[in-house]
Amino acid sequence: MAPNVLLHGVGAIGAIYLHLLLKAGCRVTAVCRSNYDAVKANGFTIDSVLYNTKDVHVKATDVVRSPSEAAAHGPFDFLVVTTKALPDAKTAAAIAPAVTDGKTCIVLIQNGVGIEDEYVARFPGNPLLSCAVYLPSTQISPGRIQMGNQELLEFGTFPDTAYDDSAAVKAAADSWLEITKKGGSNCVFQPNIQVQRWKKLMLNASWNPICALTLSRDVAFYLATDVAEHVVLEVMLEIVHVAQALGFSEITPEMTEKQIGNARKRIPGPGIEPSMLVDVLNGRRMEVEAIVGHPVREAKRLGVSVPRLETLYALAKALDDAIAFRKPGQSLSGDYKRV
């Protein structure tokens, strides 16, 4: 029988996997929130540089407003989370009505580190897959998606050892690989997915808060001072040091050079807008804890010095608060009303 999939929080990233999972023959229910009305009426419309396609219409098998509403379309083989990893979201609790204990495999397509714990605590008997995704994609208006030139989905089990320790987890992981590849995804099984997450964090924990705090694209930050490159490199190195203290010896200082080189190559173009910059420019919450806060806490636990990352964390969280607590039309500095 065709796998029955629930996509929770279908925005830019979710829409691409909706497209691929439908192509793989899955039955897919989409939980849409801010874009519900548009998607319910017209589905998604996707332009893709990678696939060289325009105006591709994509309609989920069912479109619902919440996991509770989705439950009628279950039981689900996979429940794929593509929302932002925000602590206040309490996503594990939110999806519970659509999770069949011991059966539904939960797939997290989210940035950051330390994001799996709430799912393990809530669903100890369910297979859990953790993914690092490289997929530049934007929802320019409700249901309208522009996808860039890359789609790479690295995934593994949580914890890593579960693949070998549990036949049910192994079966779920193998099935996820099979259906995503069948749909055309560049999906790769990673026995050490946490290493991949920390590798991606080198990029995310540096450029994301830096661009959000400066309201600048990466190239603009790079060109503003003669110390910018050194600052970015040092932040990346701090992530390397924490990763190595965690035992991830595959993550090396040399990797930072390649990452900074990618930014250098974008000069003198416009550069890129990391997700946190897009969030702050749109007055939305940023994934500060998953991307910056968790590594800072890990560094403290492990006794690793991360002065720059800690500074970025304190700054980014305060900016996130300023956005969250301001009144509409009020200066962001008016946030003292919250005390």
321 lines the binding site for a second copy (CB under 8 A): yes
Which H or E element spans position 320?
helix 307-325
Minimum CB separation of residue 75 from a second copy in Å reads 41
Chain centroid to Cα 27, Å, comes to: 23
- Out of 145, 193, 277, 286, name the contact with a second copy by CB under 8 A: 277
Q: Which is nearer to a second copy, 81 or 323 (CB)?
A: 323
Q: How far is CA 201 from the centre of its chain?
A: 11
Cβ nearer to a second copy, comparing 284 with 308: 308
Binding of a second copy by 262 (CB under 8 A): no
Q: Which helix H or strand E contains 265, and what residues bound it? A: helix 254-265
CB 280 within 8 A of CB 323: yes
Interaction of residue 234 with a second copy, rule CB under 8 A? yes
Q: Tell me whether residue 80 or residue 210 sits nearer to a second copy (CB atom).
A: 210
**220 in contact with a second copy (CB under 8 A):** yes
**219 belongs to the binding site for a second copy (CB under 8 A):** yes
DSSP secondary structure string, 54-111?
EEEEE--SEEESSHHHHGGG---SEEEE-S---GGG-HHHHHGGGPPTTTPEEEEE--
310 belongs to the binding site for a second copy (CB under 8 A):
yes
Nearer to a second copy, 81 or 237 (CB): 237
Say if CB 336 and CB 325 are below 8 A apart: no
* Piece of the chain touching a second copy by CB under 8 A; list 18-26, 127-135, 225-233, 250-258: 225-233
Residue 193 binds a second copy (CB under 8 A): no
Distance of CA 217 to CAs 111, 231, 264, 278, Å? 19, 15, 12, 10
- Dihedral of alpha carbons 235, 237, 238, 243, sign: positive
Q: Which residues are near a second copy by CB under 8 A?
A: 210-211, 213-217, 219-221, 223-225, 227-228, 230-231, 234-235, 267-271, 273, 277, 281, 293, 296, 307-308, 310-315, 317-323, 325, 331-333, 335-336, 338-339
